């Protein structure tokens, strides 16, 4: 499970963090455990970075995941994955990483 904001009024799930629900405009968002399952909708490989501290991590696989819970989340990918692959997200050290769901 991962923790995201869920609106207690309309039950919609949101990312990134907000003060007000963008679906119903109420301030009834709480952090809740939600399913980490989703599908990879697009991906790319980062070969260069303006941040020198990332040099040893290149090339870096990045992807956009549409969670079953609703939000789209930009993630690191644990490997090169095809669009449409069912993935599971984890959240560690402030970043999401997606790996293929087996």
CA–CA dist 101, 39 (Å, integer): 10
Under rule CB under 5 A, which residues in 2-41 are in contact with Zn ion? Answer: 7, 9-10, 21, 23-24
Query: Which 8-state DSSP code applies to residue 53?
Result: G
How many Cβ atoms sit within 10 Å of the Cβ of residue 30?
Answer: 9
Min dist CB 87 to Zn ion, Å, is 26
CB of 22 to Zn ion, least distance (A): 8
By beta-carbon proximity to Zn ion, the closer residue of 14 and 43 is 14
Nearer to Zn ion, 9 or 58 (CB): 9
Residue 100 backbone class (left: φ over 0; alpha: ψ -120 to 50; beta: rest)? beta
Nearest distance in Å: CB 73, Zn ion: 19
Contact assessment for residue 37 and residue 43, using Cβ atoms and an 8 Å cutoff? no
Q: What are the residues binding Zn ion (CB under 5 A)?
A: 7, 9-10, 21, 23-24
């Amino acid at each position: 499970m991962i923790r995201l904001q869920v609106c207690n009024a309309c039950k919609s799930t949101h990312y990134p963090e907000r003060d007000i629900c963008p679906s119903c405009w109420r301030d009834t968002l709480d952090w809740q455990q939600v399913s980490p399952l989703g599908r990879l909708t697009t991906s790319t490989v980062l070969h260069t970075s303006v941040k020198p501290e990332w040099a040893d991590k290149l090339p870096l696989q990045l992807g956009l995941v549409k969670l079953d819970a609703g939000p789209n989340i930009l993630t690191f990918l644990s490997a090169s994955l095809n669009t449409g692959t069912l993935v599971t997200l984890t959240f560690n050290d402030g970043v999401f990483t997606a790996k293929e769901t087996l």
